[in-house]
Structure 1
Amino acid sequence: MTRGSSITQDFKDMIDNPQYSDIEIFCEDGVTLYGSRAVLAARSEVFNGLLFNGMKETFQRQISFPEIKSCAMKIILEFLYTGSIEEVIFDNDNLVETNLAADYFQLPDLQKLIIENLKEAFEEQEVENQNTINNSPELLSVMISKIPFHEIELIEERSVDDQLLNFLADSVARIHFDDISLSKFSIQALKYVLSYTYNFNKPFATPEYLVFRFAALLAAHNIDLETYNLVDTRLPDLDVIEESLEEEIEFNNKCEFNRIRPKIYQFLLPIIKFIDFRRIDGKILSKIIEPLGLIPNSIIIDAYRYYSTNKKNLPATRGMVKLYWDEGECGGHIYVISRGSVATTNHQYYENIKANFDISNNGTYEWDIFIEEIGQLEICVGVHANSKFNYDLFGGCQKNTWLLSSAGMLYSHTGNIIMGFKFGKGDRITLQLNMDKHTLVFSFNGQKLFITELKKKSRYYPIISLNHPARVRLFPHLKYV
């Protein structure tokens, strides 16, 4: 590019260039960078005060920043010279340092750019590979580790509003905890995410029982492998927990678990108050969690008292549940795009796919499905109860399934009903599942259509049945009505 054709490029060429510099910047790690007094002072009040205050820095060629690393100072210089950080890739080494440096130099616009940069990087990563998660758990852990001990409690009490810290906490909350590596997430970071989202209506991906399970496994992981294995055997995943609840549980190594219980308890103690046990099914509390002896009796009693008073638990997941089509639970020709929100297929016959979240607690839940493209045959939307399900067979002919078809038919285990209306491309179907009354309400473009009765005491999954070239969008958040 010719000199003079782009002021941004010309200033970028001046960054850390001794030829155009009149000041040397000494960094914490011993690296020397070069800058222009005029540019730095014009772009930063802090630099202006340091370089033109009449003190020694005004007359010397060197200025020292013993608490700022060169990786962060380079990004500071790029922002001051160009107003952007387009080519910066943030990692564990430079993210926290740059944020602290931006705060020191009073550059709130840079702090906003840091968040925008991370947001774009996370979104690009999701689009390119939906099976991987972003590194926000690790970044948050590093950031928390840099916070002075005396400021930790202020942050947990929400007395400190750090936009980057909160952005990372929001990002972690959107990830199912089963997908987070225990070796890359700290106890303090988990504590902050749970305190930040407690009693706030924020998107959250993990049911509360699995929050407790993850916290216990993380505590055990910080002790040793043997402790981890002992805890893992006592806290089954939700996929198999029904079997555990139906049979008498007899654990081995009771003496060994009793020996390491105090260590686990000490790790869990700072986190327990930010786990809402009112969201965990009473059977799981009494048969799985309470026998562990890791939770204070007062907390367990409060959860039981809430249920006895209200005759129901709170929703199983705090905040707003993030919904997406589950690529691991679908027919062989279905594939998912748009970060899990759109399901489509190249197969001419029916196949099924379910959403990632199962609905089992009391309360009323609502979600929307938008028909982007209709199939050659009908499209069906509805729910499936917790029983065997064949994803390669039309859902409407299977047991424990309630499906509304685009051709105007309601398929259910009690018989099929002709509804007398049709839906198609561009229509929105809203489903409202009432777990207290055991009913499913279908609405069509905002108007209620009908109510159908469901089985009692079941676990339900949102599902669709589709065929080529159908495209069906699942809106991202399950609402608790």
Structure 2
Amino acid sequence: MASQSDNPPNPPKSSNSSQPSPQPKSLEGDLRKLLYDERFYDISLKCSDNIVLNACKNILASRTEVFNEYIFDKSKKNNANQQRQQLEFDKVNSIAMKLILEYLYTSKNEKETLSVSNVVEVYYAAIFFKLDDLQNDIIEYTMKILREGDKTDETITYGTEELNELAKKLLSEFIEKFSLDVNNDMSKLLVDWVAKIQLFPDNADGDSLSLMGLQHLLNKTFETKDQFATYELTLFEYTLVKTKHIILEEKTGSKKSYDMNYDSNVIERIKDRLMPLLPFIDLRIIDPDDVVLKLEPLKLFPQEMITNAYRYRIEKKHELLQPIRGRMTFRWKYEFEGKESKESKNPPSPPIITNNGFTVEVDSNIKNYQSIMGDLVIKGNGVHRWDISVENLNDTIYIGICGKDEKFDKPGDKTYQYGYALGSDGYVYNKRDWKWNNAKFTVGDVVNITVDMTAKHCYFSVNNQTFYEVIGHAFPDELYPFVSLNKGGKLHIK
């Protein structure tokens, strides 16, 4: 990739430089040749980084109405006596402009390629020049790097954590380039992606999400019906820790997230930074006890917000609310610790986790069951619901909840003590018992799991149809989603 200080390379000069070169094999090749041949330059483009690039104005004007207006609108022309017209772009840098030029000349990008470092800048330029097809290409590319990482940088190995940080970084860069109230395809893609990442207060003072990026996320997902992975109270704690870190310029840590033992000047600065974000914290779905004991003493929220939250709770007193915005989601996380094959002392082949952690499957040759847990702790009061779609099933599979420290292959094992599971055979399993539920499921079905942590009840539905209420019991205060599968079973968090 060319550096920002480089101009497009010119062909080497020779005594017969006025003679045409051997003909390329395609029109695309001819046009790419024009891009780097100084004999055809008749316009200069000064970019936001003060680098000047050269081009052929007839090609630019014919390829996009924006350049056409810039070039032929008299109000934008330079002095008529100037030998070469120069246009200035104060929000498009030279890296993005090189890629735009190659795309305008050839409808492709081969020399100037997209990468993590330029994708936001190029997307901005594609919008500026109204290049819809290029915008679509950039969105597809961004989706690919969010799933796989930037393959142009071979020094980085991308796991789930690295991909999560990449998504936060891109959202932060995007908001810095655009604005907080922007609404386009890239905004939707990055917000949806980061919304499905758990935001931990422990990481708030060291991750890649900027405060402006966080504000955009909170704004766009307020009252969302889409997937979200962070409890609302935890979301506020994350916001507070990040804000304090910016003001104090030091690590604050989640254990001190509620500590406001600072002088009045520092507190006012923290409040000022928090003020634009607080309206997008939904106090209505945070447990009232937490509002009273944890949030009110901070004296950060306007009293009107707290009063409205109490009123909402009174109006909904007969309803159980979910303490997380949108549709609860999580990722699969496999831990081998304590697991051994029943047939050998060698560990079993682990389940295959794909699709950035949302899809899990086991090899079709594996006959023994393997259980895998989600990475979200189900805790606190209220209703918690998630949906799992069945993509492959060759034998009975089990979907349910379990205790934090349980290690088992499938329900019915003696180590399965604290949870409930629905089998594709239509039975509900608890400990070493089972009960007919008439809720069979197969490939293409969606299993709905609802846990009422207030009443300590669990419900299973298939395609949103509940057959029977599952019996409840005093299961632990902290639970995890889990599935058990074998013989090529495959499930996806919907």
Q: TM-score, normalised by structure 1?
A: 0.77
Counterpart amino acid of 1:11? L
> What is the match of residue 327 of structure 1?
334
Determine if contact 1:277/1:299 at 8 Å carries over to the other structure.
Answer: yes
State how far apart, in whole Å, the 2-side matches of 1:36 and 1:79 are.
14
Deviation at 1:416, TM superposition (A): 2.7
Mapping for residues 189-338 of structure 1, pairs under 5 Å:
189-224=213-248, 228-229=251-252, 232-235=254-257, 255-256=261-262, 260-311=266-317, 312=319, 314-327=321-334, 333=348, 334-335=350-351, 336-338=353-355
Greater relative CO, 1 or 2 (CA 8 Å, sep 6+): 1
Hey, what's the Cα distance between the residues in 2 that align with 1:37 and 1:459? 65
Q: 2:172 aligns with which of 115, 128, 141?
A: 141
CA RMSD of aligned residues (A): 3.7
The answer to whether 1:29 aligns with 2:49 is yes
* 8 Å CA contact 2:223, 2:326 repeated in 1: yes
More helix by share: 1
SS in 1 for 2:54: strand
Mean CA deviation greater in 167-176 or 355-364: 355-364
How many angstroms apart in 1 are the aligned matches of 2:314 and 2:40? 74
Q: What whole-Å deviation, never above 9, does each CA across 1:396-417 have from its counterpart, x for those lacking one?
A: 3422211233456432148333
State whether residues 366 and 433 of structure 1, in contact with CA within 8 Å, keep that contact through their aligned partners in structure 2. yes
> Which moved further from structure 2: 112-121 or 442-451?
442-451
- Name the structure 1 match of 2:10: none
Tell whether the 8 Å contact from 1:324 to 1:356 is kept in structure 2 after alignment. yes
Aligned counterparts of 2:388 and 2:193: Cα–Cα separation in 1: 23
Correspondent of 1:374 among 394, 397, 414 = 394
Partner of 1:83: 107
Which residue in 2 is equivalent to 1:243?
none
Displacement of 1:100 in angstroms is 4.0
Note the residue ranges of structure 1 that are not aligned, 5 or more in a row. Answer: 237-250, 477-481
Distance 1:52 1:129 in 2: 50
Name the CA distance, whole Å, in 2 between partners of 1:273 and 1:394: 44
Matched residue SS, 1:306:
helix
CA contact (8 A) 2:397 2:484 kept: yes
Q: How does 1:8-47 map to 2 (within 5 A)?
A: 8-47=28-67
**Structure 2 SS opposite 1:370:** strand
Matched, 1:390 2:406: yes
- Which amino acid letter does the alignment assign opposite residue 338 of structure 1? N
Q: Take 1:408 and 1:60, find their aligned partners in 2: how far apart are those partners?
A: 81
Distance 2:135 2:478 in 1: 44
1:327 shift after superposition = 3.2
Q: What is the CA–CA distance in structure 2 between the aligned matches of 1:200 and 1:185, rounded to whole Å?
A: 20
Matched letter for residue 64 of structure 1: L
Q: Find the counterpart in structure 2 of residue 248 from structure 1.
A: none
Helix, strand or coil at the partner of 1:184: coil
The aligned residue for residue 372 of structure 2 is 353
Task: Write the letter of the residue equivalent to 1:37.
Answer: K
| Conserved 8 A contact 2:147-2:163 | no
How much has 1:43 moved relative to structure 2?
Answer: 0.4
On the 8 A contact 1:264/1:294 being kept in 2, the answer is no
Question: Equivalents in 2 of 1:422, 1:196: separation in Å?
Answer: 37
Which shifted more, 37-46 or 110-119? 110-119
| CA apart distance, 1:349 | 4.1
Secondary structure, aligned partner of 1:464: strand
Cα gap change, 1:84/1:171 in structure 2, threshold over 3 Å: closer, same or farther? farther
SS at match of 1:143: helix
| Local SS of the residue matching 2:469 | strand
Q: 1:359 offset after TM fit, Å?
A: 4.2
Measured after TM superposition, the shift of residue 382 of structure 1 is: 1.8
Write the distance in 1 (CA, Å) between the matches of 2:139 and 2:334: 29
Q: After the TM superposition, which residues 431-470 of structure 1 pair with which residues of structure 2 at under 5 Å, given as runs?
A: 431-433=448-450, 435=452, 439-443=457-461, 449-455=467-473, 458-467=477-486, 469-470=487-488
- Who is 1:130 aligned against? 160
| Aligned 8 A contact 2:115 2:150 in 1 | no
Match of 1:171 among 170, 179, 193: 193
Q: What does the per-residue CA deviation read over 1:151-197, in whole Å, with 9 as the maximum and x for residues that have no partner?
A: x6xx54xxx54443443333332322237774532222211221122
Q: Is the 8 A contact 2:391 2:492 kept in 1?
A: no
Deviation of residue 60 (structure 1)?
3.2
Q: Quick one: structure 1 residues 271 and 364, their matched pair in 2 at CA, closer, same or farther if it must change by over 3 Å? A: closer
Are residues 185 and 16 of structure 1, via their aligned partners in 2, closer, same or farther at CA, if it must alter by over 3 Å? farther
How far does residue 328 in structure 1 lie from its aligned partner after superposition?
Answer: 5.2
**How far apart in 2 are the matches of 1:380 and 1:180?**
35
Aligned residues between the structures: 441
Aligned to 1:106: 130
Distance 1:272 1:74, change over 3 A: same
1:428 corresponds in structure 2 to 445
Partner of 1:262, secondary structure, is helix
Deviation at 1:222, TM superposition (A): 0.2
Superposed displacement of residue 259, structure 1: 7.5
Q: Residue 196 of structure 2 contacts residue 330 of structure 2 at CA under 8 Å; is this kept in 1?
A: no
**In 2 relative to 1, CA 439–84 (structure 1 residues): closer, same or farther, beyond 3 Å?**
farther
Separation (CA, whole Å) in 1 of partners of 2:459 and 2:325? 23
> Counterpart of 2:491?
473
Taking a change above 3 Å as real, the CA distance of residues 146 and 349 of structure 1, as seen in their structure-2 partners, is closer
What TM-score do the two structures reach when normalised by structure 2? 0.76
Tell me the secondary structure at the aligned position of residue 353 of structure 1: strand
CA distance 1:181–1:170, shift in 2 (3 Å): farther
Q: 1:448 to 1:255 in 2, by over 3 A?
A: closer
Gaps of 5+ in 2: 1-21, 152-157, 340-346
